[in-house]
Amino acid sequence: ANWVYGFGAGDEHEIDRDRLGGKGAGLAEMARMGLPVPPGLTIIADVCRYFYDNGRSFPEGLKEEVAEGLAAVEAATGRRFGSGERPLLLSVRSGSRVSMPGMMDTILNLGLNDETVLSLARDTGDARFAWDSYRRFIQMYSDVALGLDQEVFEELLEERLSELGHQAETQLTAGQLEDIVTSYKQLLSEELDCDFPQDPFEQLWGAIAAVFSSWTSARAVAYRTLHNIPTEWGTAVNIQAMVFGNLGNGSATGVAFTRNPSTGENALYGEFLVNAQGEDVVAGIRTPQSVTEAGRIASGGEKPSLEKLMPEAFAELATIAARLERQYGDMQDMEFTIERGKLWMLQTRSGKRAAGAAVRIAMDMADEGLISRSEAIMRIDPATLDQMLHPTIRPEYRGTQIGSGLPASPGAVTGEIVFTAEEAIAAKAEKRSVILVRTETSPEDIQGMTAAVGVLTTRGGMTSHAAVVARGMGVPCVTGAGNMRVDRFDNILHGIGGVMLHAGDKVTIDGATGRVMKGAAPTQKPALSEDFQRLMVWADDVRRMKVRTNADTPADARAARDFGAEGIGLCRTEHMFFEGGRIHMMRRMILAETEEGRRAALDQLLPMQRDDFEALFSIMHGLPVTIRLLDPPLHEFLPKTESEVDDVADALGMDKQALRHRLDALYEFNPMLGHRGCRLAISYPEITEMQARAIFEAAVAAARATGEAVVPEIMVPLVSLRAELDYVKERIDAVAREVMTEAGMEIEYLVGTMIELPRAALRAHKIAETSAFFSLGTNDLTQTTFGMSRDDAPGFIGTYQKKGIIERDPFVSLDFDGVGELMRMAAERGRQTRSDLQIGICGEHGGDPVSIRFCEGLALDYVSCSPFRVPTARLAAAQATI
């Protein structure tokens, strides 16, 4: 087998991303394009699998292949690893198939020991730099490969700095750094009972094993779970010649995006630090400088931009950025280092971006002819669109501003502040909304960041770890709020104007503007960008399925229309009965022991229902509206506790004892499988008659008012027998005839059913003889197919997922094999008897992109989802056709 592939040292081979990992593939591609990449080699991800399958050992032949690869790097650089006048130093870097920023380990400056540090000093003529690199190496290697926490070194360093009266480590002299290295080594042998390994090859293999091991570190595992990345993929290891951004003030290290990752603007965007190495920029230890002059001005930076400071290196970076973007046809996120004025590229990958930026970039790239329209449509993750519907703080709001930072991830949120990831996780468990406040975040904070509604850091830039991760998760985030300070000792957040906030105090952050306000600030919905609207038009052009909405109230219906809903796929009438005084009338109806009693209550409900429907019809302006007849178990409307019973008895003027008897009579063991849905309509046809009358009278009124004919679609829930539907339909038809005669007007309407019980799917061909349409009620269908109550499932679905019994929660993402099979059967059998049968889906799955793709496969006529998911569904339905 071939375990190792070289790059930048005269090697040509096919670039297989799955084996080389994203980083290795990017390095190989850049080298092939002739870009300045320090040469190196990649140990493929297959070795990672071998490593874990074989008690953390390496496959045969690997040592030899690595040695060969190293020899090529030595030849290309004219340096020798571990000895000689010009020592070769290496970085050992992880890199899996998809990028997991900051989740795994990297070791820099490998190959330094007590001898090579001296040759490095001679070779570069910079002893300070050589000792500083050695210091960094001992610290990093001990942490990553030997498991000794960096913190002990940091403490020692801080101590030494204050003894010497230095503000920053850049002030340390070569001699002082040499002393620190001695102390570091001493500290290490005390803590670990061994000496720091001097043999460069021992260092190298220790580092390789450490990088493979970091694949299963707690934070990497957490990230993979969050992003559904399979463990089997493993990571590759990249071993690369070092270049030095910390070789004096002509050197620098930085990160750049080919376009702005927050706004999508087509302009190079980046940050860098002079005389710095590796993670210094992303770790947010020093607040970095802007790469471009425009960026510096926009962010109000005081220190010069790279464009001004090192114009030649900058110009080369800009050219390379443009080439890489063309090569990959996507916005790139690049890491670079400048060593004594010479630019080196260290990484390139597709850049993470905020949802709004993603839309703008895709549309711009299509306009520029870089990608096709279909590609642009495919570029956007539909699930992120609702991020763009996120609110911002009202611009005119003049509350107490306590800080400002960089707009790292859009959205305005209010929450109580917490200072640690653990507190954020605990708060989430108690359903409290919190903002995680940190000086800077580290990869360990990832779980805390998911638990928080927002993230605020006082240091770090737009490319800091916090910013990247938050954007990826769609969590609002403000970074680098330099006018705020976190006092971790007393747990206080100091804001401008001397404001002091403690854990539990409320703040509002706005990740689109960078504003931080005290308390809860009022927010507003953003205007949808022109790019967003255009994307929607393109999506609408190619999609086949219609997108409707689940709306129970006029407000829902209006919101959904704004988002482009093409009708109502599900109006749950029972929601209309919970409001205001209606619940009394509803209770009176349910508690009535005779038909007359029920009819009396229904007569009072009728005008209210009619008004509701009329409002919906006029908002929907002739678009289809599917109204479901009363569905839920009646006990949902009834009092439960003793005191509720007393209140209801008082309100209805009923005898308490009589009420209790009636409640006992209505008691059900399993209401979800009890007297609900069409079973109610069969027991109490007068309920159906009232609802049908309300619907038809509203249709008449709306048609007269707007001049547009509404076609109500009346939906009978929980049908499993055709006879059930026949019975209910007869009642509906009778009422329809009555109303039409009264009004002297014809109203077109459809009667259909939900397919939400397995029997209905099995007998779909019979049911379709009566039913003009099917609506796949996948919430109940999932529940009844699995025999798993959806209210109780959360108690054990998590365990199922953890133990690998199921991958996805079937209530969120459709179970294709089981529930999906029933859907397919229902569609096929239904169409057998009624070729023009209209079929849609109205469960939660109607807004889930993966499920929508499945629905396209069944050639459904429409999907229906909650109003805020309508844009997501429009895009997902378009993608499903491409």
DSSP 697: H
Cα dihedral sign, 87-91-92-98: negative
Q: What does 384 bind: Mg ion, ligand ADP, none (CB cut-off 5 to 8 Å by kind)?
A: none
Q: Check: CB of residue 608 under 8 Å from CB of residue 576.
A: yes
> 91 or 139, CB closer to ligand ADP?
91
3-state percent helix, strand, coil for the chain, nearest multiple of 5: 50, 15, 35
> 253 or 872, CB closer to ligand ADP?
253
**Helix (H, G, I), strand (E, B), or coil: what is residue 436?**
strand
C-beta atoms surrounding 212 within 10 Å: 26
How far apart are alpha carbons 238 and 91 in whole angstroms? 8
Q: Which bin fits 234, alpha (ψ -120 to 50), beta or left (φ > 0)?
A: left
95 DSSP β-pair partners:
236
Per CB under 6 A, the segment of 48-56, 101-109, 178-186, 695-703 that binds ligand ADP is 101-109
Q: What does 867 bind: Mg ion, ligand ADP, none (CB cut-off 5 to 8 Å by kind)?
A: none
User: Is 628 annotated as belonging to a binding site?
Assistant: yes
Tokens read off for 341: 């004025």
How far apart are alpha carbons 780 and 644 in whole angstroms? 29
Q: What does 780 bind: ligand ADP, Mg ion, none (CB cut-off 5 to 8 Å by kind)?
A: Mg ion
CB of 866 to ligand ADP, least distance (A): 38
User: Is 54 annotated as belonging to a binding site?
Assistant: no
Tokens read off for 547: 């997108």
Return the ∠ at Cα 268 (arms to 288 and 261), rounded to 5°.
75
Comparing CA positions, the residue from 368, 179, 160 lying closest to residue 258 is 368
Tokens read off for 697: 């009278």
Per CB under 5 A, the segment of 368-376, 480-488, 731-739, 780-788 that binds Mg ion is 780-788
> 440 or 556, CB closer to ligand ADP?
440
Q: What does 253 bind: Mg ion, ligand ADP, none (CB cut-off 5 to 8 Å by kind)?
A: ligand ADP
> 130 or 187, CB closer to ligand ADP?
130
Q: Which of residues 227-246 bind ligand ADP (CB under 6 A)?
A: 240-243
CB of 236 to ligand ADP, least distance (A): 11
CB of 78 to ligand ADP, least distance (A): 16
Residue 347 contacts ligand ADP per CB under 6 A: yes
Q: In what order do the strands lie in the sheet with 342-350?
A: 289-290, 269-274, 252-257, 332-339, 342-350
Tokens read off for 692: 């049908």
Q: What does 250 bind: Mg ion, ligand ADP, none (CB cut-off 5 to 8 Å by kind)?
A: none
Per CB under 6 A, the segment of 100-108, 151-159, 264-272, 409-417 that binds ligand ADP is 100-108
Tally: H helices and E strands in the chain: 34, 33
User: Is 777 annotated as belonging to a binding site?
Assistant: yes
Q: Check: CB of residue 9 under 8 Å from CB of residue 73.
A: yes
| Residues ≥6 apart with Cβ < 8 Å to 686 | 595, 598, 599, 602
Q: What does 756 bind: Mg ion, ligand ADP, none (CB cut-off 5 to 8 Å by kind)?
A: Mg ion
Residue 845 annotated to the active site: no
> Tokens 């953003």 map to which residue?
526
Q: What does 777 bind: Mg ion, ligand ADP, none (CB cut-off 5 to 8 Å by kind)?
A: Mg ion
Which string of x and - marks every residue 256-285 that binds ligand ADP (by CB under 6 A)? ----------------------xx------
Q: Which of residues 742-761 bind Mg ion (CB under 5 A)?
A: 756
How far apart are alpha carbons 774 and 784 in whole angstroms? 17
| Residues ≥6 apart with Cβ < 8 Å to 352 | 101, 261, 333, 468, 471, 472
How far apart are alpha carbons 198 and 712 in whole angstroms? 81
CB of 347 to ligand ADP, least distance (A): 5
How far apart are alpha carbons 275 and 283 in whole angstroms? 15
User: Is 780 annotated as belonging to a binding site?
Assistant: yes
CB of 378 to Mg ion, least distance (A): 26
Rg (CA), the chain: 33
> Tokens 């140990």 map to which residue?
43
- Residue choice 96, 133, 337, 464 for contact with ligand ADP (CB under 6 A): 337
Q: What does 797 bind: ligand ADP, Mg ion, none (CB cut-off 5 to 8 Å by kind)?
A: none
- Residue choice 96, 214, 253, 305 for contact with ligand ADP (CB under 6 A): 253
How far apart are alpha carbons 609 and 701 in whole angstroms? 13
- In the bound state, the residue with its beta carbon closest to Mg ion is 780
> 439 or 442, CB closer to ligand ADP?
442
Q: Which of residues 331-360 bind Mg ion (CB under 5 A)?
A: 335, 347
Give the relative orientation of helices 582-591 and 595-620 as an angle to the nearest 10 degrees: 140
> 243 or 751, CB closer to ligand ADP?
243
Per CB under 5 A, the segment of 81-89, 329-337, 379-387, 825-833 that binds Mg ion is 329-337
Q: CA 486 → CA 449, 481, 492, 494, distances in Å?
A: 17, 10, 6, 6
- Residue choice 21, 777, 843, 871 for contact with Mg ion (CB under 5 A): 777
> 645 or 673, CB closer to Mg ion?
673
Tokens read off for 313: 């290196």
- In the bound state, the residue with its beta carbon closest to ligand ADP is 93
DSSP 707: S
Which string of x and - marks every residue 20-39 that binds ligand ADP (by CB under 6 A)? ------------------x-
Q: Which bin fits 850, alpha (ψ -120 to 50), beta or left (φ > 0)?
A: alpha
Per CB under 6 A, the segment of 99-107, 519-527, 558-566, 697-705 that binds ligand ADP is 99-107
> 142 or 347, CB closer to Mg ion?
347
DSSP string, 580-637: TTHHHHHHHHHH-SSHHHHHHHHHHHHHHHHHHHHHHHHHHTTS-EEEE---S-GGGG
How far apart are alpha carbons 481 and 459 in whole angstroms? 6
Residue 108 contacts ligand ADP per CB under 6 A: yes
| Residues ≥6 apart with Cβ < 8 Å to 869 | 386, 846, 847
> 137 or 205, CB closer to ligand ADP?
137
Q: Which of residues 77-96 bind ligand ADP (CB under 6 A)?
A: 91, 93-94
* Active-site position among 48, 390, 465, 845: 465
How far apart are alpha carbons 579 and 475 in whole angstroms? 34
CB of 575 to Mg ion, least distance (A): 13
* Site residue total, ligand ADP (CB under 6 A): 19
User: Is 779 annotated as belonging to a binding site?
Assistant: yes
Tokens read off for 314: 């900058």
> 94 or 508, CB closer to ligand ADP?
94
Q: What does 119 bind: Mg ion, ligand ADP, none (CB cut-off 5 to 8 Å by kind)?
A: none
Residue 584 annotated to the active site: no
Residue 780 contacts Mg ion per CB under 5 A: yes
Residue 472 contacts ligand ADP per CB under 6 A: no
Residue 13 sits at φ, ψ, to 5 deg, of -160, 165
CB of 105 to ligand ADP, least distance (A): 8
* Active-site position among 477, 842, 855, 865: 842
> 345 or 747, CB closer to ligand ADP?
345
CB of 630 to Mg ion, least distance (A): 12
How far apart are alpha carbons 670 and 309 in whole angstroms? 74
Active site residues: 465, 842
Residue set of the binding site for substrate: 572, 628, 756, 777-780
Q: Which residues bind ligand ADP (CB under 6 A)?
A: 38, 91, 93-94, 101-102, 106, 108, 240-243, 253, 278-279, 335, 337, 346-347
Q: Which residues bind Mg ion (CB under 5 A)?
A: 335, 347, 756, 777, 780
Residue set of the binding site: 572, 628, 756, 777-780
Residue set of the binding site for Mg(2+): 756, 780
